Chain A
């Protein structure tokens, strides 16, 4: 990977300078609406987007009631929704969600402030990054969960090991995307800026950093996704609070609707995290073609 980057030829065709990170068509969903016609348009978009969701929930409701699945193991959606509302009202879900989010957020933030600057520095030198990138690739591709026993052995089953494994899971995607972001800056832009007599520091601030933003953001989204994932698994193994703990606890106690409510909470947390990141990303990359 690093070798292909190092020997990247100068841009010959009129190609876009940056790879477009996968945004999965979200841009079009969020396009601003103005006037009555676009309100109708927005409703149509919302309608199209929710058809599959509504169908899925209907199936979930019908299947246990019709006896296609055992309602003990898969209660109808309405039961789960009612339990969810009760758990929100009595604060149980709120407590567990905040606990999980605090851990994931802390781990993510620690990884972010260390990995991104480090990656930008490493990426600035083609020599250093060609030595280190393959090494970091090994860590990124070692599933963090496989190392959970190691973290527990070294750091115990308290908060430290859980935050630490989130840091680990986030660190390498962030680091590698920052390296890649700097390495894939269009050489022509650098050449053009240098010909304008721009110094090294200004070149980094005005050319390298802005053009690395989209690539770094791909890493940020990957890291955020895996931070939640890894944390839940860690909480399932050993914790006294958190959504992962809540799900395993309710399963052991045969509180099946509660368990599903926890799962729904996780889905909503994932959606919310992603929505926040998408909106930040859009704010930072307004200059790009829609």
Chain B
């Protein structure tokens, strides 16, 4: 059966006024973005900086509205922020004056839950992300990886339909990043959440995604959508998936898609910078 997608983008376009430029100057951040994400799917969106990844996220969050097109969550248009979507930011966005527990409770406070109930849910989710025993720590007492775990727990605690992740592991060191990628896959399997994961790392996109959406910059549009089939990837398997030939092939395909530019385009300074950012992955 063809079920209704959990999250659907229909020809989404987003323009901004260019500050300082003459009237009528519009910057197109995102153009004709169409995508359907099935319930329980983990989709990664990869693209260089300037391809409208953050714009895309703001639109799904409901913090800004598309210039044209629609975003549907379970068939209903997104009109504003809501607890049916949880967001994990690159910079954690934890309240520094609240403990790990307090940060996780933040999203639960508007729901009319009893205090004891909030605390129970928060503790459960901190345990889910492997932070049992760290409930009373303040963010400054936690490492980057642990902060991001708290942020993930916070976004899961209010049980959203969709988890949106904006380059969540980009600020972490390589080892912590790989560790958290495995954690995320484990949590995804355990909770069955629909996840839209934005990244500029090709490997990360291939490693996590069931499908990879490749964006091109200025304006951001879909270059390619790649289905990833790497077999049964059980966490803890001894093989190094990243050196598997199939993984390498996917990696190369995404790389090709990212670098395939129209021949007439002159390379601007911004694109060179974008290329560098991709190249370091």
Which residues of A come within 8 Å of B, CB atoms?
11, 14, 16-18, 186, 188-189, 191-199, 202, 206-207, 210-211, 213, 285, 287-289
- Work out how many contacts link A and B, with CB atoms closer than 8 A: 65
Chain A residue at smallest Cβ distance from B54: A10
Does A197 lie within 8 Å of B83, measured CB to CB? yes
Chain B residue at smallest Cβ distance from A18: B96
Which residues of B come within 8 Å of A, CB atoms?
61-63, 81-83, 85, 87, 89, 91, 93, 95-99, 106-107, 109-110, 138, 140, 144, 158, 171
> Whole-angstrom distance between the alpha carbons of A19 and B151 in the complex?
23
Contact (A287, B63) CB under 8 Å given A11-B91, A197-B83, A202-B110: no
Identify 6 new A-B residue pairs, CB closer than 8 A, beyond the known A186-B93, A287-B99: A18-B96, A188-B93, A196-B83, A196-B158, A197-B110, A210-B97
Chain B residue at smallest Cβ distance from A192: B93
Contact (A195, B87) CB under 8 Å given A17-B96, A287-B96, A287-B138: yes
Q: Cβ of B62: which chain A residues have Cβ within 8 Å of it? A: 195
- Top 9 closest pairs, chain A to chain B, by CB: A192-B93, A287-B97, A289-B140, A196-B107, A195-B87, A287-B138, A210-B97, A188-B93, A195-B61
Does B95 lie within 8 Å of A210, measured CB to CB? yes
Supply 13 A–B pairs (Cβ within 8 Å), ascending by A.
Answer: A16-B96, A189-B95, A191-B63, A191-B93, A193-B106, A194-B63, A194-B81, A195-B61, A196-B107, A196-B158, A202-B109, A206-B109, A211-B95
Q: Cβ of A11: which chain B residues have Cβ within 8 Å of it? A: 91
Q: Write the nearest CB–CB distance from B169 to chain A, whole angstroms.
A: 13
Chain B residue at smallest Cβ distance from A199: B110
Contact (A196, B81) CB under 8 Å given A14-B91, A189-B95: yes
Contact (A195, B85) CB under 8 Å given A188-B91, A202-B110: yes
Q: Cβ of A210: which chain B residues have Cβ within 8 Å of it? A: 95, 97
Q: Write the nearest CB–CB distance from B153 to chain A, whole angstroms.
A: 13
Chain B residue at smallest Cβ distance from A189: B93
> Whole-angstrom distance between the alpha carbons of A287 and B102 in the complex?
12
> Whole-angstrom distance between the alpha carbons of A211 and B81 in the complex?
22
Looking at the complex, which one of A14, A195, A288 makes contact with B96 (CB distance below 8 Å)?
A: A288
Q: Cβ of B87: which chain A residues have Cβ within 8 Å of it? A: 192, 195
Q: Chain B: interface secondary structure?
A: loop
Q: Cβ of B96: which chain A residues have Cβ within 8 Å of it? A: 16-18, 211, 287-288
Q: Cβ of A16: which chain B residues have Cβ within 8 Å of it? A: 96
Q: Write the nearest CB–CB distance from A213 to chain B, whole angstroms.
A: 8
Does B89 lie within 8 Å of A192, measured CB to CB? yes
> Whole-angstrom distance between the alpha carbons of A83 and B63 in the complex?
68
> Whole-angstrom distance between the alpha carbons of A87 and B217 in the complex?
79
Q: Write the nearest CB–CB distance from B198 to chain A, whole angstroms.
A: 14
Q: Write the nearest CB–CB distance from A194 to chain B, whole angstroms.
A: 5
Q: Cβ of B91: which chain A residues have Cβ within 8 Å of it? A: 11, 14, 188
> Whole-angstrom distance between the alpha carbons of A11 and B109 in the complex?
26
> Whole-angstrom distance between the alpha carbons of A196 and B93 in the complex?
12
Q: Write the nearest CB–CB distance from B4 to chain A, whole angstroms.
A: 23
Chain B residue at smallest Cβ distance from A210: B97
Q: Cβ of A192: which chain B residues have Cβ within 8 Å of it? A: 87, 89, 93
> Whole-angstrom distance between the alpha carbons of A18 and B109 in the complex?
25
> Whole-angstrom distance between the alpha carbons of A279 and B83 in the complex?
39
> Whole-angstrom distance between the alpha carbons of A287 and B158 in the complex?
25
Chain B residue at smallest Cβ distance from A11: B91
Does B95 lie within 8 Å of A198, measured CB to CB? no
Does B97 lie within 8 Å of A198, measured CB to CB? no
Q: Write the nearest CB–CB distance from B244 to chain A, whole angstroms.
A: 33
Of A16, A191, A199, which is in contact with the most chain B CB atoms at under 10 Å from its CB?
Answer: A191
